[in-house]
Amino acid sequence: MKKLLLFLCLIFCFQVSAQEDVWVFIKDKPQETSFLSNPTLMLTQRALDRRSKLNIPLDSKDVPVDEAYYNQLNNDKTVTVLGKSKWLNAVHVQGEVAAINTLMSNYSFIASIEFANKSLNLNGKSKGKTITPNHYNKLNETLTDFNYGATDNQIKMLKGDYLHQQELTGEGQIIAIIDAGFPNVNTLDAFSRIRDNNQILGGYNFADRNDNFYTRNSHGTHVLSSIAAYIKDEYVGTAPDAKFYLFISEISETETVLEETLWVEAAERADSLGVDVINTSLGYTTYDNPNHNHTYADMDGKTTFISRGAEIGASRGLLLVNAVGNDGTQSWKYMGAPADAASVISVGAVNSSGNIASFSSFGPTSDGRVKPEILGQGQNPALIDYSSGEITTSSSGTSFSSPIMAGLIACLNQNEGFLLKASLKKSGENYNDYLKTAIYESADKFKNPTDQHGYGIPNFETALNSYIASLSLIQDELINFKISPNPVQDRFTISTDDFEDVSIQIYTILGKKVFEKAVVTSKNIDISFLNTGIYMLKISKGNQQKNIKIIKQ
């Protein structure tokens, strides 16, 4: 009995002294008003312009974690700060359980604490389905007008060549690649075109906290090649004229929950720089510490830290594209996070003939949503080998179907040129939901999705035409909504007789809502209570929206 008690004591002492990862969620942001009054302290002008175009006002999620709160935690000798997220207003710390449990009583600004080990949370979930860690699989890679050369099949399968023929080649779009490393992108000839044209705008190595992003695992180099590499008459990426930020969030030699936090930090950085599309060929289900493993129940798009961050990113106007995973033949066959997030475009893999790749992970999400949504060539696609710079087809994985798709999505999103020429672009419209719908509905299994195919292989020729048609319909129905007089003293009149399903909101130029009328029944709107200044009127009719700038005298 004494030996047993001693053994149990040793186990208990080990558990108490073990270092645990935890997210500390903070109650407020005391400097919120100051930051919202000076938005360029948070976002670049390009990011602000993108928000304006997509009709997305600034809010508290854009405000950084309070520096004073962060410094107090960072100076606390009982824990180690590893990362932070402004979107989730959280700080990632590591420490002993006893020390972490005292944080709530020591700091009044803490709202809640969430252990990566769910059993340590008061509302911890049961462990659910058992998962065996597989570090190699987390990078989703296994061996195995343009003259497109080697990329002909993977582009034409998706009718991506049609986008290029319409001069939609990614020009004006910024794509962020969040991955494991980008060695030799700064030297290989296949990337000389994007280097010479200054299409690499910068990046950051979150894994090592430094500016050297041409390092670490070669996975990111291969991923980037499918979008950006160019060898005349031999190889063309899917968005050869886009610009790029390269971010390292993955620490390939280990698997820890810190990588979820680093991904969110990278996505936040991308948003602040005005990025349009993010590709992530990473996915998270299992960790070195099995107590941190996710279960199938967690794959609901709103449980894991990374998926919660992804949803906020999408709400900021980012188009998020993610590999669904390579676990289709494993006992755990499902997608990983953040591919489970509702707003993330999750991509599975097919072979060169369009048949499903057996390794491509399955859906649905645990709450029953279709995943993956779409498929591209991930089995033996053409890539640029990071060491030799030669074209290779020896690798497979949804890691590569995802960036192939992300490049074409950026081309479709290239609306500043084509849609303007077509007289369809209208300031203030949020195109992202219409763009995703057009892609999904163009896929070959849209009417009969399956757990592994999702909606199937999209057709970007069909998607482009549907996208334009949907924007045209929005313009036709809302074009007659006007107000007068403008400038306004006390009241303005809406010039329409059709108020069915119409609501209005008024925002300050900093995005603060100051007036809302959920059901509009009168043409005359009283705003005499508003201060003199410039406001934005948002008129909504169903899922359609129009913005009108108001000058209040």
What pLDDT does residue 122 have?
77
Q: What percent of the chain has pLDDT over 70?
A: 86
- Residue 463 confidence (pLDDT) above 90: yes
CB-CB contact of 175 with 275 (8 Å): yes
Q: Measure the CA angle with vertex 502, ends 500 and 507; round to 5°.
A: 170
199 with 322, same domain: the answer is: yes
Please, which pLDDT band fits residue 129 given cuts at 50, 70 and 90?
low
Among 386, 417, 448, the domain boundary falls at: 417
268 with 320, same domain: the answer is: yes
Q: Is residue 437 part of a domain?
A: no
Q: Which residues contact 361 (CB under 8 A, 6 or more apart)?
A: 283, 324, 325, 326, 327, 328, 333, 334, 335, 336, 339, 348, 372, 398, 452
**Catalytic residue list contains 484:** no
305 with 388, same domain: the answer is: yes
pLDDT tens for residues 151-178? Answer: 999 999 999 999 999 889 999 999 999 9
Among 150-159, 407-416, 493-502, the range scoring the smallest mean pLDDT is: 493-502
- Residue 131 confidence (pLDDT) above 60: no
Catalytic residue among 21, 62, 179, 340: 179
C-alpha of 367 from chain center: 20
Spatial CA neighbour of 69 closest among 24, 113, 105 = 24
**Catalytic residue list contains 385:** no
Catalytic residue among 21, 62, 218, 219: 219
What pLDDT does residue 383 have?
98
86 with 189, same domain: the answer is: no
User: What is the CB neighbour count within 10 angstroms for residue 156?
Assistant: 12
397 with 488, same domain: the answer is: no
Q: Is residue 289 part of a domain?
A: yes
Average the pLDDT over 24-35 and give the result.
96
What pLDDT does residue 139 have?
61
What pLDDT does residue 476 have?
57
Spatial CA neighbour of 404 closest among 435, 383, 376 = 376
Tokens 């296994």 belong to 142
**Catalytic residue list contains 501:** no
Q: Is residue 56 part of a domain?
A: yes
Residue type, 472: S
Q: What is the CATH number of the domain that holds 257?
A: 3.40.50.200
Q: Is residue 128 part of a domain?
A: no
Average the pLDDT over 76-96 and give the result.
97
CB-CB contact of 205 with 214 (8 Å): no
Residue 538: give the domain boundaries.
483-552
Six token digits for residue 168: 């939609």
Q: Across the chain, what does the average pLDDT equal? A: 88
105 with 198, same domain: the answer is: no
Among 359, 383, 417, the domain boundary falls at: 417
Six token digits for residue 518: 């959920």
pLDDT tens for residues 465-495? Answer: 888 777 666 555 566 677 888 889 888 888 7
158 with 307, same domain: the answer is: yes
Q: What percent of the chain has pLDDT over 90?
A: 70
Q: Is residue 525 part of a domain?
A: yes
364 with 223, same domain: the answer is: yes
Identify the three-state secondary structure at position 201.
Answer: strand
CB-CB contact of 505 with 515 (8 Å): yes
44 with 167, same domain: the answer is: no
Catalytic residue among 85, 307, 399, 470: 399
- Residue 451 confidence (pLDDT) above 60: yes
Q: Residue 488 half-sphere exposure, CB side, CA atoms within 13 Å?
A: 25
111 with 151, same domain: the answer is: no
What pLDDT does residue 376 have?
98
Q: Residue 510 and residue 87: Cα distance in Å, rounded?
A: 18
DSSP tally for the chain: helices H, then strands E: 15, 24
Residue type, 154: Q
Q: Is residue 476 part of a domain?
A: no
pLDDT tens for residues 280-296? Answer: 999 999 999 999 999 99
Q: Is residue 274 part of a domain?
A: yes
388 with 294, same domain: the answer is: yes
Of 310-324, 405-419, 495-509, which has the strongest mean pLDDT?
310-324
81 with 152, same domain: the answer is: no
C-alpha of 507 from chain center: 26
Domain total of the chain: 3
Query: What is the 3-class SS of 437-506, one letter each residue?
Result: HHHHHHCCCCCCCECCCECCCCCHHHHHHHHHHHHHHHHHHHCCCCEECCCECCEEEECCCCCCCEEEEE
What pLDDT does residue 417 have?
40
Q: Residue 102 and residue 525: Cα distance in Å, rounded?
A: 53
Q: Is residue 135 part of a domain?
A: no
Backbone torsions φ then ψ of 494, nearest 5 degrees: -90, 125
Q: Which residues contact 454 (CB under 8 A, 6 or more apart)?
A: 346, 348, 363, 370, 371, 372, 373, 374, 375, 443, 445
Average the pLDDT over 206-234 and give the result.
98
Residue type, 538: K
Q: What is the CATH number of the domain that holds 501?
A: 2.60.40.10
Q: Residue 224 and residue 246: Cα distance in Å, rounded?
A: 9
Q: What is the CATH number of the domain that holds 101?
A: 3.30.70.80
Give kind and range of the element (H or E) at residue 538.
strand 533-541
Spatial CA neighbour of 315 closest among 508, 101, 59, 20 = 59
pLDDT tens for residues 47-69? Answer: 998 887 777 889 999 999 999 99
Give kind and range of the element (H or E) at residue 364.
none
Among 87, 120, 153, the domain boundary falls at: 120
Q: Is 511 left (phi over 0), alpha (psi -120 to 50) or beta?
A: left
Q: Residue 376 and residue 351: Cα distance in Å, rounded?
A: 8
Backbone torsions φ then ψ of 376, nearest 5 degrees: -140, 175
pLDDT tens for residues 188-205? Answer: 999 999 999 999 999 999
What pLDDT does residue 126 have?
45
Q: Residue 474 and residue 69: Cα distance in Å, rounded?
A: 45
pLDDT tens for residues 318-373? Answer: 999 999 999 999 999 999 999 999 999 999 999 999 999 999 999 999 999 999 99
What pLDDT does residue 11 have?
44
Residue type, 70: Y
